[in-house]
Amino acid sequence: MKTLVVVDVQNDFCPGGALAVAEGHRVVPYINRIRGRFDMVIFTQDWHPPDHASFASNHRGRDIYEVIDLHGQPQTLWPDHCVQETRGAEFHPELDIRTDDSIFRKGQLREVDSYSGFMDNDRTHQTGLADYLKEKGVDGIDVVGLATDYCVKFTVLDARDLGLRVSVHREGCRAVNIKPGDGDRAFQEMAAAGADIV
């Protein structure tokens, strides 16, 4: 089962969106072009309640990109993004999504963020993606999407922890780059964890 995992290609991560990633929309034609090579295509979707603890707006006196302690873990504060049932949370309108594809949503619990498509950041709640891949007998995945330095990276690191072979497509990813070079460092970390960067 050749499987493609498409991470968070949503309006809010594209130019004009609330947490826009430079050139985020440019992954769309690439993903649409390669999906035909796969037997199964899976999409993850960042899907937050409006009072989500990762939003700076929910912490008095805090700014976007500040890092706070949230229940003992460092949490970067983000602009309000990917709020459930809003246009920003929808997939990019040109992304080719078909009826047989599956969608795994994450970040729905108010008090914990969820960068990985597999589980939340405190590693207690699973999205169901790991069980799904196991059930389908998938032992390797290809990964593309947004953003390289957050949700793509943590999805890839968890996939490696689960023992999956992973190929990450550079051309199908873009980074937030709060600090210049974050995207490149993320690729290095993924490679160090045994992912192929292609």
Given the residues 14, 82, 151, 173, select the one marked as catalytic: 151
Terminal Cα distance for the chain, rounded = 19
Q: Write the single-letter amino acid at 153.
A: K
* The pairing of beta strand 73-76 with beta strand 102-106: unpaired
Residues whose CB falls within 8 Å of the CB of residue 184, separated by 6 or more in sequence, listed in order? none
Catalytic-residue membership of 8: yes
Q: Which of 14, 28, 151, 166 binds ligand VGL (CB under 6 A)?
A: 151
Q: Residue 195 binds which one of ligand VGL, Zn ion, none, with CB within 5 to 8 A depending on kind? A: none
Instruction: Tell which positions 56-85 bind ligand VGL, by CB under 6 A.
Output: 78
Binding segment toward Zn ion, per CB under 5 A, in 34-42, 105-113, 135-143, 176-184: 105-113
4, containing H or E segment:
strand 3-7
Q: Is the bond preceding residue 147 a cis peptide, omega within 30 degrees? A: yes
- Does residue 46 touch Zn ion according to CB under 5 A? yes
Catalytic-residue membership of 151: yes
Q: Residue 186 binds which one of ligand VGL, Zn ion, none, with CB within 5 to 8 A depending on kind? A: none
Residues 139/108, Cβ–Cβ less than 8 Å: no
Catalytic-residue membership of 106: yes
- Does residue 147 touch ligand VGL according to CB under 6 A? yes
Given the residues 8, 113, 142, 158, select the one marked as catalytic: 8
- Does residue 133 touch ligand VGL according to CB under 6 A? no
How far is residue 53's CA from residue 76's CA, in Å, rounded to a whole number? 10
Q: Residue 8 binds which one of Zn ion, ligand VGL, none, with CB within 5 to 8 A depending on kind? A: ligand VGL
